[in-house]
Amino acid sequence: MAQKKQTNGAENHAGTTLDQYFAKDPERLAQNLARALEELGRAAASWTEAREKGESSDITAAPLADMIRTFSRVSEYWLGDPGRALEAQTRLFAEFMGIWANAIRRMSEENVGDYAQASTTDKRFQDPEWGRNAFFSFLKQAYLVTARWAADLVDGADNLDDITRHKARFYVEQMSQALSPSNFLLTNPELYRETMASDGENLVRGMRMLAEDIAAGKGDLKLRQSDSSKFRVGENIATTPGRVVARNDLVEVLQYDPATKNVLKRPLLIVPPWINKFYILDLNPKRSFIRWAVEQGHTVFVISWINPDERHARLDWADYIDQGIRFALDTIEVATGEKQVNAMGYCVGGTLLAAGLALMAAEDDNRIASATLLTTQVDFTFAGDLKVFVDEDQIRALDAAMRERGYLDATRMATAFNMLRAGDLIWPYVVNNYLRGQAPLPFDLLYWNSDSTRLAAANHSYYLRNCYLENNLSRGRAILRGKALHLEQIKIPIFNLATREDHIAPAKSVFLGSGFFGGPVEFVLAGSGHIAGVINPPEMKKYQFWTGAKPDGELDDWMAKATENEGSWWPHWHDWIIAQDDKKAKARKPAKSRKSLGDAPGDYVRIRA
């Protein structure tokens, strides 16, 4: 019995031996594997049926072709010269020889670490068996050196322009994340142990979830990141009291109940992105920017965009400005009697707001007295990894796909955003959901992230071409209603917030955009990223923000002279608003005469894709 427990001197973290890697009940394991295959067949059937019925279509040809072209450029450099090719192969061979020599040392010496070390923050390789078991240790190290070698090939290819190099780095990172041994049952010690311990029950549960998620995505994988059954919009999420005070075919306008006797005279209009739903600003009472703003004495109005369908196919940015922003301004004037407001735009909602301000400046519409832009890009020179998905071929393929239905499926854009942080938002959930068979825990932020929206064809096409592809907005070449948009004509005060770790609207890009406006700009850099850096209530006492001089020159130079402030940027913003106009008025309650419109958060936000 003592020999059976012998394992070359290594025990796992649970104190058991290699017998944990053998099936306890082979017959039951075989039955569960058959059941898992059955569930996998259901998943495949859902995928096929959606395409046969025309409910889903694949538009991966253009991105795949672009990836192949990009890698061909990298290969062209290294294979075009025999000396360079030999150099590259020799470097990889030397790395593998280093792993082999290190393994020999470990057989005779104690306390010898791995040749290739994973980052201490890399959650994929936390299990002790990745270091103690020779098989899994080799897999991990071989993966790490190969992934780093591939990244070095991209960085060392001198024939690449900046755009191609950016794409190559992104594609290499995606492939490296996908091919990690932690993502596969037979090469992940944790997964393998759990499969043997449960005789494959985890795979049955996982394949069942996979089939459910493909069915929920109507032929595409709708990756579940949170237990959606625990959340109800309007009940335990998006609960700040208010009413729907206006509605058209594109938006509902929400007005929130006051929390103070007196309020700032100028109302606050929030223009959220239509790519996600507005309640990121009202997740729960403790983290709700909307509730906090109301408590500071703002009369808050919010645009809630409809989840578009084929009826909205031809609505472009001019329609979103007219039926969204201008419709909301008309509604505010009727509700409060005020002709001037403070406006706030978040992400692409801020980009639309900037375009709207330029159009309104050209038409002498001065109802917006100040504008706050949260993680907003108006110049897309340094727009980050999303530019990988934007070139003429890929946009043409998207246009063709959108013409069939009039919109882009919600899953497409959600997948693109998740790919920006695949190591956090894709592969951990693939492993936990479909291989470990564990349903995700409830998390309001990830519930919101998965509550995706479709994208109207004309609107999305205009955005991709005029912003990401041609950068027309900052260059004065974007046309709406026959008028060229000039950001320098926007003379009102601008509060421009970037976040330091933003992967969607990089801080460098937001900072550069500050220079295109014609009026004073207060640039603020917040800690953390695109969501956490914005949704940062003062009570949480997290992160920090930097303030400084006029945003000229380079971001690094501005940062060198900036002042670091602890905590949330919210109070600083509120002080800035008061500095623009501190006049007060009696609190305004939402009118209840149009009872049919209902309470906040309204109906449009509840439409699921």
Residue ranges of alpha helices (H) inside 306-375 are 317-320, 327-336, 348-362
Report pLDDT for 8: 40
Cα angle, residue 443 at apex, residues 442 and 448 outer, rounded to 5°: 115
Q: What is the percentage of the chain residues whose pLDDT exceeds 90?
A: 81
Whole-angstrom CA distances from 550 to 496, 555, 589 are 11, 11, 38
pLDDT tens per residue, range 292-349: 999 999 999 999 999 999 999 999 999 999 999 999 999 999 999 999 999 999 999 9
What's the one-letter identity of residue 387?
K
Is pLDDT at 263 greater than 70 in this prediction?
A: yes
Distance in Å from the first CA to the final CA of the chain: 58
pLDDT, tens digit, for every residue of 502-548? 999 999 999 999 999 999 999 999 999 999 999 999 999 999 999 99
**DSSP state letter for 318:** H
Distance CA 607, CA 609 (A): 7
pLDDT in tens, 452-501: 899 999 999 999 999 999 999 999 999 999 999 999 999 999 999 999 99
Q: Exactly one of 264, 347, 373, 455 is catalytic; name it.
A: 347
Nearest to 500 by CA among 417, 450, 549, 562: 562
Q: Pick the residue with more confidence: 10 or 32?
A: 32
The pLDDT value recorded for residue 21 is 82
Q: Which residues of 214-252 are buried (b: 16+ CB within 10 A; e: fewer)?
A: bbbbbbbbbbbbbebeebebbeebbbbebbbbbbeebbb
In sequence order, the β-bridge partners of residue 268 are: 300, 342
pLDDT value of residue 443: 95
Q: Angle, nearest 10°, between helix axes 134-156 and 82-108?
A: 150
**CATH code 3.40.50.1820 region(s) in the chain:** 242-409+454-606
Task: Please name the helix (run of DSSP H) or strand (run of DSSP E) that holds residue 405, with its range, or none.
Answer: helix 392-405
* Catalytic-residue membership of 347: yes
Q: Mind listing the pLDDT tens digit for each residue in 265-289?
A: 999 999 999 999 999 999 999 999 9
Report pLDDT digits (tens) over 40-69.
Answer: 999 999 999 888 887 776 666 677 888 999
**Does residue 10 have a pLDDT over 70?**
no
SS3 269: strand
Q: Rounded to whole angstroms, how far apart are CA atoms 510 and 14?
A: 49
Distance of alpha carbon 299 from its chain centroid, rounded?
30
Distance CA(534)–CA(502), nearest Å, equals 10
**What is the rounded distance in angstroms from the CA atom of residue 173 to the CA atom of residue 420?**
10
Please state at what angle helix 61-79 crosses helix 134-156, rounded to 10 degrees.
Answer: 80
Select from 165, 170, 146, 147 the least CA-distant residue to 155: 165
pLDDT in tens, 65-107: 889 999 999 999 999 999 999 999 999 999 999 999 999 998 8
The structure tokens listed for 482 are: 């026959």
**For residue 594, what pLDDT band results from cuts at 50, 70 and 90?**
low
- Of the candidate CATH numbers 3.10.129.10, 3.40.50.2300, 3.40.50.1820, 3.30.930.10, the domain formed by 242-409+454-606 belongs to 3.40.50.1820
> Residue 288 belongs to what H/E stretch?
none
Task: Pull the structure tokens for residue 296.
Answer: 């500071």
